[in-house]
Amino acid sequence: MPLALLALAVTAFAIGTTEFAAMGLLPQVAGDLHVSIPQAGWLISAYAVGVVIGAPLLTVAAARMPRKAVLVALAALFTAGNLLCALAPDFWLLAVARLITGLPHGAFFGAGAVAAAELAPPHLRARAVAVMFSGLTLANVVGVPAATLLGQHLGWRATMLVVVAIGALGTAAIARLVPPLPSPAAAGLRHELSAFRSGQLWLALATVVFGCGGFFACYSYITPLLTEVSGYAPGSVTLVLALFGIGMTIGNVVGGYAADRALRPTVCASFLLLALALAGFAWTARAGWSAALTVVLIGMFGFAIVPAVQTLVLQKARRAPTLASATVQGAFNLANAQGAYFGGLALDAGLGWTAPTLVGSVLAGIGALIAVLAWAADRRPPPPGGPDLPAATGAAAAHARPPA
């Protein structure tokens, strides 16, 4: 795998830290800004809304720019947004800053996924995408627990400033290590929108919105669940969050390998197993050891989905993948927003701290159902040459193996 993928992974690490650390710091933010924990959860939704808005708009605006320049600019914008978060004086300005920080997220991962696939041999594309997303999963092993611990001792603003430093490092790494990646000759709004003629692409996005919403319904409120139900001390939550990250990292690696061999079965099985794990968490959360084990499983099944779905979208978008790939990130964060919202509704209804996990199980089950129906409908053979990317991938794309 090219060293340039590691540069993308560094920025992915920063993005993952700022996105998921907010979930671990909800009690600190709520206490500091004098709001309730469910209201502080709106910061998660604000970031997700920023992703949903920014993914298509920034991708279209940058469609004719070289991909390396786009990646550098988006990483810099993300870093500036985190600085605004650190300096925000009240809750509402923080919510606006979180929305701004989310704007480059989808466009970055969309352009980054296409760049990663172009940098790798055709039969290793899912694994190349997984390498980039390993920064996101490692953020949950190291970044989020460390950020949570730092926020508990020095305040959540200190966490944001550390993310600013990591984002600046990632921006510099992309500028130094990623080779020139010119935009396709046919780049433009009409060209990118052509990918959305595929009904299978829409079904793939629907699986993400519903199925991954289940993951976020649980993860958004994981800290109070672990302290109030599982009996963990606030300082011990960071260790459990690290287990979550370990599960995500395992799932990302296994999902990348599995998707290169059997794409559709990987997508369907991941959503189904996630639904089962979330349903079981409502009971296993009542003991510390079983809660920790289930957290690993939820992280593993939840992130096995990521490289598989991203590769599926690159396949269905074929020669106009950039906007479609960015839209996947918008779909992931729409899932984030709706998961946090429905989980918060369950809490506000007085159903208890385990209610979001059951809500998540229902959402993941809906995602599994859509994935199975999409697989059943996709009986036609792939076009000659298999899951081609844009012409910039070169002649090697002609030798891509059709996915299972």
| Spatial contact of 211 and 305, defined as CB atoms under 8 Å apart | yes
Q: What is the mean pLDDT of residues 372-381?
A: 77
Q: Measured between alpha carbons, how far is residue 166 from residues 7, 76, 81, 156 in Å?
A: 12, 11, 13, 16
Please give the structure tokens belonging to residue 221: 């409120």
Cα–Cα distance measured from residue 144 to residue 32, given in angstroms and rounded to the nearest whole number:
19
Question: Which residue is associated with the tokens 């506000």?
Answer: 348
Residue 232 lies in a domain: yes
**CATH code of the domain containing 82:** 1.20.1250.20
Residue 75 lies in a domain: yes
Comparing 109-123, 220-234, 385-399, the range with the smallest average pLDDT is 385-399
Residue 400 lies in a domain: no
Whether the pLDDT of residue 385 is over 60: the answer is no
Residue 399 lies in a domain: no
Domains of the chain: total = 1
Q: What is the mean pLDDT of residues 13-38?
A: 80
pLDDT tens, residue by residue, 127-182: 777 788 788 778 877 777 788 788 888 888 888 898 899 899 989 988 888 888 76
Cα–Cα distance measured from residue 97 to residue 195, given in angstroms and rounded to the nearest whole number:
32
Q: What is the mean pLDDT of residues 319-336?
A: 75
pLDDT tens, residue by residue, 78-114: 999 999 988 888 888 988 999 999 899 888 888 888 7
Cα–Cα distance measured from residue 401 to residue 124, given in angstroms and rounded to the nearest whole number:
10
Q: Which domain holds residue 163?
A: 4-391
CA atoms within 13 A on the CB side of 69: 8
Helices (H), 220-287: 222-228, 237-261, 263-284
Residue 62 lies in a domain: yes
Residue 402 lies in a domain: no
CB atoms within 10 A of CB 38: 19
Question: φ and ψ at 42, to 5 degrees?
Answer: -65, -25
Residue 397 lies in a domain: no
Please give the structure tokens belonging to residue 83: 């600085």
Residue 315 lies in a domain: yes
Cα–Cα distance measured from residue 215 to residue 172, given in angstroms and rounded to the nearest whole number:
32
